[in-house]
Amino acid sequence: MTPLLELDKVSIHFPTRAGLLQPRLMLRAVDKVSLTVMRGETLAIVGESGSGKSTLGYSVAGLRPPTTGGIRLTPARAHPAGRDPVQIIFQDPFSALDPRMTVEDIVSEPLRLTEVGRKLRRDRVAEVLEQVGMPADAANRYPHQFSGGQRQRLAIARALIGDPELIVADEPLSALDVSIQSKVLNLLADIREKHGISYFFISHDFGVVRHLADRVAVLYLGRIMEVGPADDIFTSPSHPYTQALFEAVPRIGRGRRKRGSVLKGEIPSPIRPPSGCVFHPRCPKATAICSTDRPELLPAPGRPEQLSACHHKE
């Protein structure tokens, strides 16, 4: 199997200031992340808000170059010049679609830079609208005429129209009504079956991740805490951070929810991240080494495919 996407020590830093007269500091939103996504595979990225998931997703989608490190895409087939084999679906379907553009113009936007005749373009828009379960006459209407779930279908149609190999989906269900979430989730799963698409799927909903992901990467303060096959991570999480995340969700937690979950409080600032293992101030297993040495991402005991960045991994 050939990797479709390879991230090699990707870091994404933002220059910031604590105040007007303060020196410039670096906010390390993503810090030396290495990951691969195989062809046809769905990699889920999980972690608390502020852990760098969206920032990483934008870089994968080509919207923001990494500060350092490499992102390599190896498509399985040729793509016409000007057509990006990576597309993105955003969290909020209300702000993601330009209210002044017709659905046809919005959905066909990824074809903009390629030579496509008007008739062909129209046919292709009708085709993808059908694929996402929208009526053909939606093409001449405007985004405000549709519900949140329908708008997210339009965003999916736009992502599909250029025949991509990878779709970055940044919490694509979280702005939708619960009643609609499973329908859109099923649509994303169908699309993957039919088109052999890979997903870089950002989510904090473990039910959704469990349903869709082949592999899971757990991000905290811009770093990968744990990555591996979804089944292994859900049945035997190795990293205390992953364990704490699961404990915070009673229905998939191992056993009953523990009182006094370790994930109290906010995640520390990525401007001055904790030394050593960034999770150590909140970690129930932390010892002296955790505040001094950054743990490497290495296989969990007896599980060669499940990597965990912890001095006390299980």
Ligand X SMILES: Nc1ncnc2c1ncn2[C@@H]1O[C@H](COP(=O)(O)OP(=O)(O)O)[C@@H](O)[C@H]1O
What gap in Å lies between CA 168 and CA 159, rounded to an integer? Answer: 9
Q: Does 108 bind Mg ion (CB under 5 A)?
A: no
Interface pick for Mg ion out of 42, 51, 54, 150 (rule CB under 5 A): 54
Contact between 42 and 108 (Cβ < 8 Å) = no
The site string for ligand X over 239-278 (x = CB under 6 A, - otherwise) reads: -------------------------------x--------
CB atoms within 10 A of CB 1: 8
What gap in Å lies between CA 116 and CA 232, rounded to an integer? Answer: 45
Instruction: Give least dist CB 165 to Mg ion, A.
Output: 23
Which range of residues in 47-55, 102-110, 231-239, 256-264 is near Mg ion by CB under 5 A?
47-55
Tell me the β-bridge partners of 229: 215
Q: Does 59 bind ligand X (CB under 6 A)?
A: no
Of 6, 4, 24, residue with least CA distance to 15 = 24
The site string for ligand X over 36-55 (x = CB under 6 A, - otherwise) reads: -----------x-xxxxxxx
Instruction: Give least dist CB 57 to Mg ion, A.
Output: 8
Contact between 181 and 10 (Cβ < 8 Å) = no
Instruction: Tell me the three state secondary structure of residue 163.
Output: coil
> In terms of CB distance, is 96 or 286 closer to Mg ion?
96
The backbone torsions φ and ψ at residue 202, rounded to the nearest 5 degrees and listed phi first, read -90, 130
Q: Does 306 bind ligand X (CB under 6 A)?
A: no
**Residues interacting with ligand X, by CB under 6 A?**
14, 16, 27, 29, 47, 49-55, 270
**Residues interacting with Mg ion, by CB under 5 A?**
53-54
